[in-house]
Structure formats: structure tokens, C-alpha cells
Amino acid sequence: MSTPKTHPKAKKKSNKAQSQFSLKKYLIAFITLVIVVACVLWSSLFKSYPVEGNKQMLSIGQGDTYSRFIDRLAKEDKASFPLVLKLYQKFFIHDTMKAGVYEIPKGTSIRQVLEMVSNSDNAQLNRILVIEGTTFKDLINNLKKDDLVTHEVSHLSDEELLKALDIPLNHPEGLFAPDTYFYAKGESDKKILKDLYSRQMKALDEAWENRAPDLPYKDKYEALIMASIIEKETNVDAELEQVSGVFARRLKMGMRLQTDPTVIYGMGDKYKGNITRNDLRTPTAYNTYTISGLPPTPIALPSKKAIEAALHPDNSNNIYFVATGNGGHKFSSNLPDHNRAVQEYLQVLRSK
């Protein structure tokens, strides 16, 4: 019995039908892909930046990066598909973020915001961040790097700068108030520094006027020196007055302050991240392991809280403190207790 043969025309029709079906399937898949991509792009790049009211100010700080900014937007549910935003920035925005304060009108897309903050000409205000505990050198270097600041005095020596600012002191450390400030674009470093100096002196004058009795300072400048040491010794607000009390009592007793931050400051550029026993023994004007009393100048820019603490030490008997290794410090009134606290700290370090 012979097998019936398929007619050539029927075979052609069948192949054509299969080809059309495959083409239709690929076309549907392609259209689906295009729709998905369009939705992703729309949800990421063309989604409106969330604005309360008709407009909102967006502050970009020195050193902020697009990657961190995009991650922050995603974490706050202000942006979707952060990877898409990062790829867009990488391939289409060939510049870094510029510090400043930007006005974002309602209806502005995420893409437009990303492009806006790459051009400092779009900024309405300049954001100046002065961090407590940093040094005058840090402040000057940040002003020098700021494109939105007009540079008049930041290139001068310390002596020339103080003269230009009409400051009747011979060292600039500690004289400028740390905080977050907003200035007009193009504001001069001279005016900014004058403003920061005025704010610091106001905080110092007010605290000095309301100071506790029987303090071991000859004048308010010595209180400012102490405030800078307190600022460097702890970042726990609840400990500020305790640290102040330890150092105030040491001064009254004629006991050396023996505080590492002063040693580090005296080392200057020689400090590479660690201090050794030899560093503690090497005399400098700031090494409070080798000198009695206060160092000659502040060692950092102290906050208003640290200034208040310097002028309001606690009333305990503590004259020692050491880090706990878990945040904060352990305070002691006698050497045996202090030695035990030191051993506990070393055990914590070893366990880590």
C-alpha cells in the first residue's frame, strides 16, 4: 500500500503559515519588551520628583555623588529603578554633582533633576557645611575647592588672613562656628569667614557671661581651647560636661591633661592615623603629656554645645576616663578603678 504524497502547494502554505505565526510571536514579544522598557524608563527617568507645594529646595553638599544621591532617593521612595538612573547618569551626564541649593519646580522629572544638579549655574544658594571637630585648615581647604565661593582671602597665610578679617588674635584655630550655612552664589570667603567668626564669638560671649563659678580659666579664650579639646574627646552629647569636669579638675589639681587629640594636633602632617608611645613622649607646644596646663590655642572648631560644656563642667569627682570600646567612655575618680576600666576596654578590643 503506497503512502499518499503531500501536495507541494499544501506544504508551501503550511510553511508560510508557520513563518507568519513565528513572525507574529516575535513581534508580540518585541512590542511587549518595548512596552516594559518604556514603563521602566517612564517610572524612573520621567517620574516627577516629589515636591511639596509649587516648588522645593534641594541641597547638594560638597563631595556628594550621583550614586549616593540616587540610592538616597530610592531609599526614600522618591525614585524607582535606581540602576536605570545610574546608567543614564553614566552615559548621558558627563559631569559630577555640584554643591549648592537648587529650586525644584513642581512637575520636574527625576531626569531633569539629575541634569540640573550637574551645573552650578542652576543653584540658587551655596550650601557651606562646617563640621564640628574639624580644623581651620579643613575649613579653608573646603572654601578653596568651592566653585560658588569668590576667593579673596583663603590663599593668605594665617597671619595675613586674620589681619584681613580684623581679628585681634594670632592663631585662627577654633575661631569659626561649625554649622550648616546657606550663602548666595558668589559670596566671598572673606564675608563667610567674618560671619562664622562673629557667630563663634557670640556663642562664646553668651556662655562666658553665664559660666559656672570657680572655673580654672584665666579668660574666655582658654575656655575656647578647652571646648575644642572636649569636642575632640567625645561625640556623645551626654558626656560633654563629664569630660569637661575631668579636665577642669585636672587643671585645678595641677595634673596634666594627657589627652591624645592635643598630641595629634601638635604632630601636624606627621600624624598618619596612629600615635605611638614615642609620639606621647615627644615634646610639642600641644603635647599635654609633656606640658602642664592648656595648649596655646584651640585644636579644632568647637560647637556651641562644647563651649557650653567647657563653661559648665559636671560636679562629680572623676579625674579619669577611657573608651569602653562600645561607644562612650567609662569615668573614674581614682586610679585603681581607672586601671580596671582600661583592662575592660582592652578585653573588648581583643574580643573584636
Compute the distance between CA of residue 103 and CA of residue 112 in angstroms, rounded to an integer.
Answer: 12
Q: Are 55 and 103 in contact (CB under 8 A)?
A: yes
Q: Quick check: helix, strand or coil at residue 84?
A: helix
One-letter amino acid for residue 271 of the chain: Y
Kindly state the average pLDDT of the residues 215-228: 97
The pLDDT assigned to 50 comes to 85
Report the sign of the C-alpha dihedral through residues 148, 152, 157, 159, in that order: negative
Compute the distance between CA of residue 223 and CA of residue 229 in angstroms, rounded to an integer.
Answer: 10
Record the cell numbers describing residue 244, joined without a space: 569637661
Which of 123-127, 151-155, 192-196 bottoms out in mean pLDDT, i.e. has the lowest? 123-127
The pLDDT assigned to 19 comes to 61
Record the cell numbers describing residue 189, joined without a space: 570667603
Residue 33 has pLDDT above 60, yes or no: no
The pLDDT assigned to 110 comes to 86
DSSP E strands in the chain: the ranges are 55-60, 100-105, 125-130, 179-184, 320-323, 329-332
| Residue 23 pLDDT grade (very low, low, confident, very high; cuts 50, 70, 90) | low
Kindly state the average pLDDT of the residues 179-202: 94
Cα distances (Å, whole numbers) of residue 51 to 56, 119, 126: 6, 20, 20
Enter the pTM of the model.
0.75
CA 275 to chain centre: 24
Q: Are 321 and 246 in contact (CB under 8 A)?
A: yes
Report the sign of the C-alpha dihedral through residues 169, 301, 218, 252, in that order: negative
Residue 198 has pLDDT above 80, yes or no: yes
334 vs 121, higher pLDDT: 334
CA 193 to chain centre: 19
Residue 337 has pLDDT above 70, yes or no: yes
The 10s digit of each residue's pLDDT in 99-115 is 888 888 998 988 888 88
Cα distances (Å, whole numbers) of residue 136 to 10, 130, 187, 265, 330: 90, 10, 19, 12, 30
